[in-house]
Structure 1
Amino acid sequence: MTTVIKRNKWEIWRDVIFALFAREIRTGFSDKLGLSWAFLNPIAFIFLLSAMKSVLGGGQDTHTMPTFVFMAYGLIFIQTFLQTLTSCATAIKKNKSLYAFRQVQPISAVLASGIFELLVKIAVVLGIFAIFYFMDIEIVMDNPLLIIYCIIMLWWLSMMLGLFFGVLTLYVPEMNKVLGLITRPLFFISGSFFSLQDIPREYWPFLDWNPILHAIELTRFGAYRSYGDEGVSLLFFTLSVIVITSISLALYYSSWRQAISR
């Protein structure tokens, strides 16, 4: 006699996310380079831009931080944000055929894509720490809790923005182009390869609206307390994440059924 196993909604949701996560792994590493490209891409950027900044800046340190470490934090953060945002924004439409199964909902696809990107970046960070060790660069973390907090919150922010644009794209397909226009400048204005301290104070208000800049600068401050946190605010960063999360979830829960039926 067949035994029927009853599962609650949380167990079903967990299994759905895991299945979608496994699907992300298969599609994400289906090319020849696979996981190695996830390491080579950010590391190559870090080495290239660190060398350029060292030559142009005339030194091996940037505001009391080793230039390589300075660039590593900035580039890893901005790449995590942009790649998670893009992946989550396309996840809803990419998995649209699976919504015929009532257990599968769009937010599950977004969470699976976000978790996949987070785990890839954690592996990249561990690889870069190994490079630090072989380059004899001391790994300094004066405030590790602040660093972890900024990483998790920035990842969550990118995932919620991905959810927001993913739902809008089902209504207006051209939103993909709008998203591309929005994300391109972020690489240059989010402090990934410069410090807010390098910018004259009168121009700070033009950059301070960007929560990604706050996350990157606060993480550098968490690593090296001597770096300073002038011009950035943990409260502003946290409130930005809360507001964007609220807007994204409100849009999702009010319109996801109509969106996937289009």
Structure 2
Amino acid sequence: MTTVIKRNKWEIWRDVIFALFAREIRTGFSDKLGLSWALVNPIAFIFVLSFIRGRMDGGDTHGVPTFVFMAYGLIFIQTFLNTFTTCSGSIKKNKALFAFRQVQPISAVIAAAMFEVLVKIFVIIGIFIVMYFLGIEINIDNPLLMMFCIFLLWWFSVMMGLMFGILILYVPEVNKLMNLFTRPLFFISATFFSLQDFPREYWAYLNWNPILHAIELTRYAAYHAYGTDGVSLTFLSLTVLVTTFLALSIYYTNWRQAISR
């Protein structure tokens, strides 16, 4: 006689997310390069830009080793861009699976976000290994602040991806606006240059960007000598909170109509 195992909604949701997460891993690492390319690409990029920046400031950028300065900037901006792009596309990508009532769009977004976390963990470990062999000191003055900033940026990108993922189902042209929106972020998010490199009268034109606050605060968490001039953890936290409320409101009121289009 067959035994029927009853599961509550949370257990079903957990199993669905795990299944989608496993699917993301299989599709994400299905090519020949797989995880190795996810490691080599950002590390090589950091090396090239660190060399260029190092020739400008002698290997030390506002009290932070140039390689470390560039590493935090590039890891954070790539975390945002990759997570935002992957999460926003995950709803449309898995739309056929929503025919099963157990599978909901937010499950696909969470699975995609978890996959990006997995990739970035390997990237960070790879960069720390490179720093060790290069003789660069791995210094973190405030690990709690650093982890909190990483979480805030990751969650901000997930919520932005959720919001845009719903909007894309209504207006496919939003995808083109996303590309227009994300391209300048490399240059205005303190990735290559610190906020301190700009005159103070121009800070007001850059401080609206929460990614800049996350990157600069993380550099401060690693080296307190870097300082926190012009950035605010409160602003970053409130921005993430407002974005979360807005994204979840849009999702709650529109996801059923969106996937039926």
Q: Fold conserved (TM > 0.5)?
A: yes
Provide the residue aligned with 2:224 in structure 1.
Answer: 225
1-structure distance, mates of 2:221, 2:56: 26
Tell me the amino acid that sits aligned with residue 234 of structure 1. L
Alignment-derived partner of residue 63 in structure 2: 64
Q: Which amino acid aligns with 1:159?
A: V
Counterpart in the other structure of 1:40: 40
What's the CA shift for 1:55?
1.1
Q: Give the superposition deviation at 1:30.
A: 1.2
Deviation at 1:56, TM superposition (A): 2.2
Report deviation, 1:261.
Answer: 0.2
Root-mean-square deviation (Å): 0.5
**Residue 29 (structure 1) shift:** 0.9
The 5 Å alignment of 1:111-190 reads 111-190=110-189
Query: By how many angstroms is 1:193 displaced?
Result: 1.1
**After TM superposition, which residue ranges in structure 1, 4 or more long, deviate above 4 angstroms?**
none
C-alpha distance in 1 between matches for 2:29 and 2:171? 30
Query: What corresponds to 1:74 in structure 2?
Result: 73
**Any unmatched runs of 5+ in structure 1?**
none
Corresponding residue for residue 11 of structure 1? 11
SS of equivalent residue, structure 1 residue 213: helix
TM-score normalised by length of structure 2: 0.99
Alpha-carbon separation, structure 2, partners of 1:230 and 1:237: 14
**Alpha-carbon offset, residue 69 of structure 1:** 0.3
SS of corresponding position for 1:148: helix
Structure 2 Cα separation of the partners of residues 122 and 70 of structure 1: 18
Q: Can you give the 5+ residue segments of structure 2 that lack an aligned partner in the other structure? A: none
**Separation of aligned partners in 2, 1:61 and 1:234:** 25
Identity across the alignment (%): 70
Matched, 1:85 2:84: yes
- Deviation string for 1:187-234 (max 9, x for gaps)? 110001110000100000000000000000000000000000010000
Q: Structure 1: which amino acid aligns with 2:45?
A: F
Q: Deviations over 1:69-117 (max 9, x none)?
A: 0000000000000000000000000000000000000000000000000
Aligned length: 261
TM-score by length of 1: 0.99
1:15-57 CA distances to partner (integer Å, 9 max, x unpaired)? 0000000110111111111000110111011000000001122
User: 1:108-162 deviations in whole A, cap 9, x for unaligned?
Assistant: 0000000000111011101111111111111000000000000011000000000
Aligned residue for 2:43, secondary structure, equals helix
